[in-house]
A and B are shown apart, each in its own frame.
Chain A
Amino acid sequence: MGRRPPPGVLVSDVPHPTDAISDHAIEARAVTRVYKARPAPVTALAGIDLEVAPGEFFGLLGPNGAGKTTLIKIFTTLLLPTTGTARVFGFDVAIQTKQIRRIMNMVAGGEQSGYGVLTVREQLWMFSQFYGLGTREGWSRVDELIEAVGLGEQRLQRISSLSTGERQKMNLARGLLNDPWILFLDEPTLGLDVSAARVVRHLVSEWRAAVPGRTVLLTTHYMAEADELCERIAIVDHGRILAIGSPAELKRMVQRESIFRLELDRLDGGPAALAGLPGVVHASPAGGGDAGAAVDRQTVAVNLVLTDDAALGGVVGALGSLGAHIVALAKSEPSLEDVFVELVGRGFDDAPAEAAR
């Protein structure tokens, strides 16, 4: 668990004597977390090893109860690991909490925090003071962010009367107040409608793209969100990381070939005419039916499995010499849930209910 300070003292303002400049924004080594519970202890994290580079948009994807929130709480210094070490920009989460809190911020989905009697503007200003901004600087920063997140009309509205989407925009504005070096997002679009969720994702993307080096760690169980936003994803289940990689890399784990659906105006000889071409693993009619016969159909649809995308060029060339013209071409990719099923043997929705912490 790292070096322990004397009881009752947090060594937070003194640089750690063994500090090395870390290359990683986040680093976790053999992190476990066990909760005391009745009738038996609950292991929320069973040995996590993780590295996130500075400037990376990293996702933790997994079903409810996988341990994502527990892990993010360790990184945000709300929770201590039972064993193992975790660092944020080289600062130990166990004993250098103050340093971490100065450079990070956190936004969680479904946050209902705040004081109902305050307006949006006042609530954000209050937090700006907690984050170290000056008094006047806080007001001007708050006004900028309110406009940026699209809450201009609600700025003088009491937060108790905000809708869920408006509240989450306000929470996101709070998360950006101190321009954190690392932003932790714990299911930030939870409970939001499609439109509000898109706005939140767009804001986060824009914020990150504005300055190189901004790091984001996102936890989510929405695969499309992870696929859209994250450069790398760790798939988590039962407190373990099952796989790490970019969305494309993860999908290639379950589908090593490239699959295309071709629609042609004609195909003499049917899909079999393509089966022998270099790089073609398999060619079959799309949707079943007679092999390639253009019977009462304007187009012929073929499912084509290739060793890789490069083989498509050869197929297109061959189609030309067969006198066929391509009407439509679509690539078929597995989803991240397919990846999860491949790894675990069940879907997200099939995951057994666990005590969430």
Chain B
Amino acid sequence: MTSPNLYVHRRTSGPRAAAAWDRRQVLMNNLRTVLGRAFPRLIGLTREPSWLLFEVGLPFLTTSAFVLVYRALQAPPEYIGFVVVGGAMTAFWLNVIWMMAAQLYWEKDQGNLELYFTAPMDMMAVLFGMAVGGMLASCLRAAVVLIVGSVVYGVHFSVDQWLPLLAVFFLTLVALYGLGMMLASLFVLWGREAFHMTQLLQEPMYFVSGLNFPVGQLGFLGALAIALLPLAVGLDAMRQLAFAGGTVVFATPSPGIEMAILVVMAVVFLVLARFCLRTMERLARHEGRLTARWR
């Protein structure tokens, strides 16, 4: 029925040599893992086209609701722009919390988590692959909100410095995804309870991050948010750069300082993510939480 030669793919003479990977092998394994894990997300986009309506089209309507609140209040036009930028960044935040942080809970539920943990790659590569896979849908959603918001609601961006704006956007994403990886480690350990905690990361997070208003209006709470939450500081910096020269007083640090905060956040979150993932994996192995409870 089969040729025995089909099965033979040995590069080394013994198991201990086979287990001794050099740095290049480790790096390539992790890079390929990123691609491999992004693959199902990308394939899913082409095979289930309804996401275009439900993930892109309809959420734009939610952003529109907040725009119309400001219109009803006859707010200055910059505030419409704030809501549009906030709505665009919501796409990435939801990608972080649902497609990365909470995803390990779903993976455990479906029995994939133990297959990941018995494979040689780094879990951070898996999580990054999830993020990359979801990035396309998030970018499209953000773009739709920005473009259609600008066209339909007449938002005028006045960008003086494009490079810092792009840098802030990129740093915000890095910090967000680092935070997401940290949160993912909690899901390995907590299970269903962490799903509920993710719910706490929606509306309450929107409030303290100033998703629809300048976060400086929150006073001390806003200052705390800028120090601790990448969404808050990234949004504020992007608004300052995208609506430069406007009449709105942000009452927050300058974009340069906020960019520095983002750099620190990105580094800290990524380092902490690595530490937390390893610690949590060890704790989960100790308590037997890597597999679904009823198996």
Contact = CB atoms under 8 A, between A and B. Distances in A.
Direct contact of A and B (CB under 8 A): yes
Given A8-B282, A79-B290, A356-B295, 4 more contacts: A102-B21, A113-B110, A115-B40, A129-B39
A58 interface: no
A78 B15 contact: no
Contacts of A90: 16
Interface string B115-133: 1111111000010000000
A96 B288 CA distance: 18
Contact of B111 (A103, A113, A179): A113
Contacts of B117: 77-78
A14 to B, nearest CB: 11
B119 A131 contact: yes
B104 to A, nearest CB: 14
A35 B288 contact: yes
Interface stretch (B3-11, B66-74, B81-89, B165-173): B3-11
Interface residues of A, number: 70
Interface of A: 7-10, 13, 15, 21, 25, 35-36, 54, 69, 73, 76-80, 89-91, 98-106, 111-115, 117-118, 122, 125-135, 141, 144-145, 147-148, 150, 174, 176, 178-179, 181-182, 202-203, 206-207, 209-211, 356-357
12 contacts: A77-B117, A80-B282, A100-B19, A118-B39, A122-B43, A126-B39, A129-B39, A130-B120, A135-B32, A206-B7, A211-B4, A357-B288
Given A8-B275, A102-B19, A111-B111, A211 B120 contact: no
A145 B39 CA distance: 20
8 closest cross-chain pairs (CB), A and B: A129-B36, A210-B4, A99-B19, A181-B15, A113-B111, A129-B32, A130-B119, A179-B9
B111 A104 contact: no
B interface SS class: helix
Contact of B43 (A9, A117, A134, A207): A117
A25 B18 CA distance: 14
Given A7-B279, A113-B111, A113-B112, A211 B10 contact: yes
Interface in B21-46: 21, 25-26, 28-29, 32-33, 35-37, 39-40, 43-44
Contact of A210 (B1, B7, B20, B25): B7
